[in-house]
Amino acid sequence: MYTQSEFPTQVAPGLHLPNGETALVYGDPAYFLGTGVIGAFRNHWHLEMTEDERRFNRHMARQRMSVEWEFGKAVMQWGFMGHKSNFKVGLSPVGAYYAVCILLSNVHTCYWGSATGVKFHCNPPTIHEYLHF
């Protein structure tokens, strides 16, 4: 899936910030760690993680949870998204269903906010900003 997403060729090269630094995408253990993707630190062989590595892991776990809230919001608002039996890859346009549900969830967030916005002390864009009217 990682390779099919074209992330390595289409997204990763564009992760260079104006200040010359390279942005990285943080993936959980289920994702392939490749170009532009990092994951949590782990104990290797006989080496224990440093306190900085443990602190980084704790910090990133909290951020990842807030992302999961948004997936949970989409499943809560669009209940059929949570029923795996509704989806037959190759027989149903699963990707299109998901994209529409996320779009509509984002529109909902523009009007009513989200737990993630509260956590990070940021307001959602207006509907006009989000839809580029």
pTM for the full predicted model: 0.60
Residue bearing tokens 């999961």? 68
Burial class (CB in 10 A: 0-12, 13-18, 19+), 8: middle
Query: Is 117 part of any domain?
Result: yes
Query: Is 28 part of any domain?
Result: no
Domain of residue 80, residue span: 64-131
Query: Is 75 part of any domain?
Result: yes
For residue 123, name the pLDDT band (cuts at 50, 70, 90).
very high
Q: Which two tokens stand for residue 93?
A: 């346009």
Query: Is 47 part of any domain?
Result: no
Backbone torsion region of residue 36, taken as left when φ is above 0, otherwise alpha when ψ lies between -120 and 50, otherwise beta: left
pLDDT in tens, 62-114: 777 777 788 888 888 887 776 766 677 677 787 788 889 989 999 999 999 98
In the chain, how many domains are there?
1
Rounded to whole angstroms, how far apart are CA atoms 9 and 84?
A: 31
